Copies of this chain bind each other. A is one copy, B any other.
Amino acid sequence: MQRLKDKICTHAKIIENRILQVDNFLNHQLDIALFNEIGQEFKRRFANKEVTKIVTIETSGIAIASITAQYFNNVPVVFAKKHAGINMNKDVYEAKVYSYTKDQEYTIKISKEFLSPNDKVLIIDDFLASGSALLGLVSLISQSNAEISGAGIVIEKTFQEGRKLIQEKGLQLESLAIIDSLKDGQVIFK
């Protein structure tokens, strides 16, 4: 997706030759016009799939998933919670996720009432790197016996093992910008 790649080249910061910091448009300040193009592109890539629900994970997946849902007939978005409040339903699906950018393990949760065996779920997230968050979401959805229609990722880093782990599950994985290397502070797209 060219506009996304252009935005990465002009606005992302590279930290320690391995972290792509995209706070300018994806993770802190949000470029809503770009998110609409991203949503349309996900619709194009999953045009052949039935989708009754979009599932993502807090925090950075939420806005992308919500804008994307508009291109899938406004299906409901459900986000897995990392920081559940005291008033969250206690009857939940749970999975463990490790966050590299926060160096911390989380238990992510989705209330059982929001996933059912009749659902066909598109997973949307901002990044794919180690695959830990995405595998956690796959686990939550699988526990509910819902079907997974596929996974749409905004930015994938190929130098971690995420893609392999997801493809081993037999899932359609679509990443809109795929980065092979951040060495020497340079973004090298696949």
Q: A172 to nearest B CB, angstroms?
A: 22
Q: CB distance B114 to A101 under 8 Å?
A: no
Q: A82 to nearest B CB, angstroms?
A: 8
Contact with B along A75-87 (1 / 0, CB 8 A): 1111101110111
The CA of A113 and the CA of B13, in the complex, are separated in Å by: 13
Interface of A is mostly: mixed
Q: Is A46 an interface residue (CB 8 A)?
A: no
Count copies of this chain in the complex.
2
Q: A161 to nearest B CB, angstroms?
A: 20
A63-B63, A66-B66, A102-B83 given; A88·B28 CB < 8 A: yes
Q: CB distance A30 to B76 under 8 Å?
A: yes
Q: A79 to nearest B CB, angstroms?
A: 7
Q: CB distance A66 to B30 under 8 Å?
A: yes
Q: Is A17 an interface residue (CB 8 A)?
A: no
Q: Is A186 an interface residue (CB 8 A)?
A: no
Q: CB distance B33 to A79 under 8 Å?
A: no
Q: Is A9 an interface residue (CB 8 A)?
A: no
Q: CB distance B15 to A87 under 8 Å?
A: yes
Provide the residues of chain B in CB contact with A70, threshold 8 Å: 32, 36, 67
A-B interface, 5 closest residue pairs, ranked by CB to CB distance from nearest:
A63-B66, A85-B101, A30-B77, A33-B74, A32-B69
